[in-house]
C-alpha cells in the first residue's frame, strides 16, 4: 500500500522542479510561465529506507524492493479557480483523487522568475489556494444538500447521515475554516471520507528556498513554519533546484554534494518521511535469500490486514505471523539468531503491526 500526494501551488513556485527531482526525470516541463504543466504528471518513486538495505545485507537477499509512493504534479492554480479560472476545474478534479496535498510555497526571491501575483509572500499564496479549495467545497456542498432533499423527506438514514456531515462541513467553511477542522466520530469516518471534500485532505507545506538557504531556511520559510504550527499542519524546507541536481548524481557524488552544501540528508527524504507521518503510515518488512521487501501500512493495522497488502489470500487464510522487531533482527544477526534468543514471536489476528517489524505470514490456501 502506498499513497498518492498531489503537488500543488501557484504557478512558478517550483512544483515541476520538485517533481523532476522526485521522479529523477525531466518529464515535468519546468518553464517560466503559468500552466506549463497541462496534464498532471504522475510518478511512482521508491521510498528511501536505510533499514531495508541493512536487512538485505544480513539475510544475503539477492533483490531489494522498496515500498513506493505516488506523486502527482498538478497544473498551477490561480485566484478564481473555484469558478473555473485558469485550469481551475481540472485542478480541482485532480486534487480530489489524491490522499494528501504537498503545497509548494515560493520562499525565494528571483527577479528572473515572475510571480503570478507580482510579489513573494508564501503565507498569502497558501491562503489563496486554501480559499479556492474552500469555495469549491462550499459550492459542492450546497449542490449535494439540495439533491438530498427528496431522500430526507423519505427519512432515508444514509441521506440523513450525509446531510448532517455536509452541514458540519458547511458550518466550518462558512466560518473560514477548512473541513478538516471538523471532528468526526468513528461511526461517521467512512461516510465522511466518501464526501471527498477538498479541504479534508491533509496538508504538508513545502518551503522552496534558494540554494543558500537550504540548510537553515530563511525569514519567509519561518513565516510558513509559524502558519503551519498554528494550523496543526506540517512543513519541510527544501531547495527544489538542489534536489533536482542531486537526483542526477550517483549516491557517492550526491553525498559529497550534500556535504558541500552543509546538508546531512536530501530534502526529498525529509519530504517523504513527513508525508508518511502526515498520513499515519509505517513500514514492515519481509526478508529472505530471494528478496528483502518493504510494505506500507497505516498505523494501527492488524496482522491479517497487513498480510493482505501482499495478497488478499494471505488475509483470508491468515493463521499467524512470525514476527521479529527490526532492532532484534539486526542485533542478533538475522532470523536464526533471533529464534535462538527467543526474539521471534508468534502473533495472532489481534496483533497490531509495529513499524519495522520483520514478518513471515502463515496462512491456509
Q: Which residues are annotated as a binding site for ATP?
A: 12-17
Element (H, E) at 185: none
Q: Residue 324: is it exposed, middle or buried by C-beta count within 10 angstroms (0-12/13-18/19+)?
A: buried
CB 318 within 8 A of CB 266: no
SS3 171: helix
Give ∠ CA 166-169-171 in degrees, rounded to 5.
110
Q: Which residues are annotated as a binding site?
A: 12-17
CB-based burial label for 158 (10 Å; 0-12, 13-18, 19+): exposed
> In terms of DSSP H, where are the helices of the chain?
15-23, 50-59, 88-96, 122-153, 157-174, 189-194, 219-231, 240-247, 251-260, 267-278, 303-310, 312-316, 326-331, 335-340
Distances (CA, A) of 353 to 79, 282, 294, 316, 365: 44, 9, 13, 17, 22
Residue 217: left (phi > 0), alpha (psi -120 to 50), or beta? left
Amino acid at each position: 500500500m502506498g499513497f498518492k500526494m498531489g503537488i500543488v501551488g501557484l504557478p512558478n513556485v517550483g512544483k515541476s522542479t520538485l517533481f523532476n527531482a522526485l521522479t529523477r526525470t525531466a518529464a515535468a516541463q519546468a518553464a517560466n510561465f503559468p500552466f506549463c504543466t497541462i496534464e498532471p504528471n504522475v510518478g511512482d518513486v521508491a521510498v528511501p529506507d536505510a533499514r531495508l538495505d541493512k536487512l538485505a545485507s544480513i539475510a544475503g537477499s539477492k533483490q531489494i524492493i522498496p515500498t513506493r509512493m505516488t506523486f502527482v504534479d498538478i497544473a498551477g492554480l490561480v485566484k478564481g479557480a473555484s469558478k473555473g479560472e485558469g485550469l481551475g476545474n481540472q485542478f480541482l478534479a485532480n486534487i480530489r483523487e489524491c490522499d494528501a496535498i504537498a503545497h509548494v510555497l515560493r520562499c525565494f526571491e528571483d527577479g528572473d522568475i515572475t510571480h503570478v501575483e507580482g510579489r513573494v509572500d508564501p503565507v498569502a499564496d497558501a491562503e489563496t489556494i486554501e480559499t479556492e479549495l474552500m469555495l469549491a467545497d462550499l459550492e459542492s456542498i450546497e449542490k449535494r444538500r439540495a439533491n438530498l432533499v427528496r431522500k430526507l423527506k423519505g427519512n432515508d438514514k444514509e441521506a440523513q447521515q450525509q446531510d448532517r456531515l455536509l452541514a458540519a462541513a458547511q458550518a466550518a467553511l462558512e466560518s473560514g475554516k477548512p473541513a478538516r477542522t471538523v471532528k468526526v466520530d468513528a461511526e461517521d469516518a467512512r461516510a465522511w471520507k466518501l464526501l471527498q471534500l477538498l479541504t479534508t485532505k491533509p496538508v504538508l507545506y513545502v518551503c522552496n528556498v534558494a540554494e543558500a538557504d537550504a540548510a537553515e531556511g530563511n525569514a519567509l520559510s519561518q513565516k510558513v513554519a509559524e502558519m503551519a504550527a498554528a494550523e496543526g499542519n506540517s512543513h519541510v524546507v527544501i531547495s527544489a533546484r538542489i534536489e533536482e541536481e542531486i537526483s542526477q548524481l550517483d549516491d557517492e557524488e550526491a553525498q559529497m554534494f550534500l556535504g558541500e552544501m552543509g546538508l546531512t540528508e536530501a530534502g526529498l527524504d525529509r519530504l517523504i518521511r513527513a508525508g508518511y507521518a502526515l498520513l499515519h503510515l509505517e513500514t514492515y518488512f519481509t526478508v529472505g535469500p530471494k528478496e528483502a521487501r518493504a510494505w506500507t501500512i497505516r498505523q494501527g493495522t492488524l496482522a491479517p490486514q497487513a498480510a493482505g497488502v501482499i495478497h488478499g489470500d494471505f488475509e483470508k487464510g491468515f493463521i499467524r505471523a512470525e514476527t521479529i522487531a527490526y532492532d532484534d533482527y539486526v542485533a542478533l544477526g538475522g532470523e536464526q539468531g533471533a529464534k535462538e534468543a527467543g526474539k521471534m514471536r508468534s502473533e495472532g489476528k489481534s496483533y497490531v503491526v509495529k513499524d519495522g517489524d520483520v514478518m513471515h505470514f502463515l496462512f491456509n490456501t
